[in-house]
Amino acid sequence: MNNFQYYNPVRIVFGEGQIKQLSDLVPTDARVLITYGGGSAQRTGTLDEVKNALSANSARQVFEFGGIEANPEFTTLLKAADMVNEHDIDFLLAVGGGSVIDGSKFVALISSLTEEDNKNIVSREQAWDALTSGCKKINSAIDLGTVLTIPATGSEMNSGGVINSSERQAKLPFGSPLVFPKFSILDPTKTLTLPERQVMNGVADAFVHVMEQYLTYPVNAKVQDAFAESLLKILIDEGRVVKNDPDNLETRKNIMWTATMALNGLIGTGVPQDWTTHMIGHELTSLHAIDHARTLTILLPSVMRELKDSKKDKLLQYARNVWNITATDQDDDAIIEKAIGYTENFFRELGLPVSLEDAELDKSAIEPIIKQLEAHKMVKLGEYGKNDLEVSRHILERAVSSKAS
């Protein structure tokens, strides 16, 4: 196991009916901006529940900013940041999924980057420069809390995010310890209104988050490996249950907590990490507006096949400990291909794409993605930093059509 420091200050408030805790969690004299997405927070009644909780026992001033897109847009977030300055906001409350939470983290970071001659307007150039350097150089942020409505990204308990710019055809990651949420409320009943598509996306995103931190090479990290393997098995079991029994609240609870644990830093401590699937996936989303999680299920099997030599030890461990493939009469390659096939079939069971063709794309999609990867300096990916554009091209070529199941 490699050296590491682990720090995660997020208070998690888990369970049915916990939104009312907001009256204790948000400072009573705060000037709060509630941020939310395209409409689900209103439709499901969650926004009203949040506003009622904030109005209890307080002198809080509450403002709202809605319309943060799925795959949050840089230009929309600039407007939210201007609203922070206009109303002198000192607390952001994100109500939604990864897009609203990531967008709000970004707003919390860029609000101080104002124009020289107008302290209410955020400088577009400074904000873009900040994003292209991952927001690492920003040294202040507005406090933020979240009410999670879709288990998927783990953004509710981490310090990262991803922002899209359609005009620049870029979807860029950022991160700063300043934007760990002060708290996140995880009420599993709020996920019951999710369309099946989003429930499946969430299971798949969480699954691939685990794989990015697990399927690399062994460093004798027994805790991280055992924890990661358990999270994968829970997602396989509960993903199958929720597909057939969407109202099963106990299953929803387990999926919600698993997705949070998949990307709150714990299983990623002291171990090598890959993230090739995610970096190529971001370009697929930004060029073709494919849901984030679906870009991952398209790419992961091909990443596993293309990199099976360098990932051999962990692929065999994954086959044994996650899929129970313990046959001794088969050679390593057969065992590995079986585990990759089981993974692909699991994604298919959830109704998720496993090839570019499943997303109505063909090999002509490959070169524009390679160009974007180069433009975004995504040229040394993976746990060894060796996955160059040629490797990414091979991965995409493998992903054009899926192997027969």
C-alpha 120/C-alpha 124 separation (Å) is 12
Residue 39 binds ligand NZQ, judged by CB under 6 A: yes
Left if phi > 0, otherwise alpha if psi is -120 to 50, otherwise beta: which for 389? alpha
Taking the complex as a whole, how short is the minimal distance between the CB of residue 71 and ligand NZQ, in angstroms? 4
Report what 152 binds from Zn ion, ligand NZQ, none; CB cut-off 5-8 Å by kind. ligand NZQ
3-class state of residue 67 by DSSP: coil
Residue 94 binds ligand NZQ, judged by CB under 6 A: no
Q: Which of 78, 93, 127, 162 binds ligand NZQ (CB under 6 A)?
A: 162
C-alpha 122/C-alpha 124 separation (Å) is 6
Residue 193 binds ligand NZQ, judged by CB under 6 A: yes
What one-character-per-residue DSSP string does 234-283 give? HHHHHHHHHHH-TT-HHHHHHHHHHHHHHTSSTTTTTS----HHHHHHHH
Asked if residue 122 lies in contact with residue 110, where contact means CB atoms within 8 angstroms, the answer is yes
Taking the complex as a whole, how short is the minimal distance between the CB of residue 363 and ligand NZQ, in angstroms? 25
Q: Which of 18, 104, 111, 155 binds ligand NZQ (CB under 6 A)?
A: 155
Kindly state the number of chain residues that form the binding site for Zn ion, as judged by CB under 5 A.
1
Residue 252 binds ligand NZQ, judged by CB under 6 A: no
Structure tokens at 64: 């709202």
Residue 28: C-alpha distances to residues 31, 50, 58, 61, 91 (Å): 9, 14, 5, 9, 11
Find the DSSP H helices in 291-375.
Answer: 292-306, 312-321, 332-349, 366-375
C-alpha 201/C-alpha 193 separation (Å) is 14
Residue 103 binds ligand NZQ, judged by CB under 6 A: no
Taking the complex as a whole, how short is the minimal distance between the CB of residue 105 and Zn ion, in angstroms? 15
C-alpha 267/C-alpha 146 separation (Å) is 22
Site for ligand NZQ in 328-347 (CB under 6 A): none
Report what 261 binds from Zn ion, ligand NZQ, none; CB cut-off 5-8 Å by kind. none
Report what 39 binds from Zn ion, ligand NZQ, none; CB cut-off 5-8 Å by kind. ligand NZQ
Residue 205 binds Zn ion, judged by CB under 5 A: yes
Residue 158 binds ligand NZQ, judged by CB under 6 A: yes
Check residue 5 and report its DSSP letter. -
Residue 283 binds Zn ion, judged by CB under 5 A: no
Residue 70 binds ligand NZQ, judged by CB under 6 A: yes
C-alpha 340/C-alpha 308 separation (Å) is 10
Any bridge partners for residue 31, and if so which?
A: 61
Report what 161 binds from Zn ion, ligand NZQ, none; CB cut-off 5-8 Å by kind. ligand NZQ
Binding string to ligand NZQ for residues 353 to 382, with x set by CB under 6 A, is what? Answer: ------------------------------
Report what 97 binds from ligand NZQ, Zn ion, none; CB cut-off 5-8 Å by kind. ligand NZQ
Tell me whether residue 37 or residue 268 sits nearer to ligand NZQ (CB atom).
37
Report what 283 binds from Zn ion, ligand NZQ, none; CB cut-off 5-8 Å by kind. none
Number of Cβ within 10 Å of residue 29's Cβ equals: 11
Instruction: Kindly list the residues in this chain that would bind Zn ion in the complex (CB under 5 A).
Output: 205
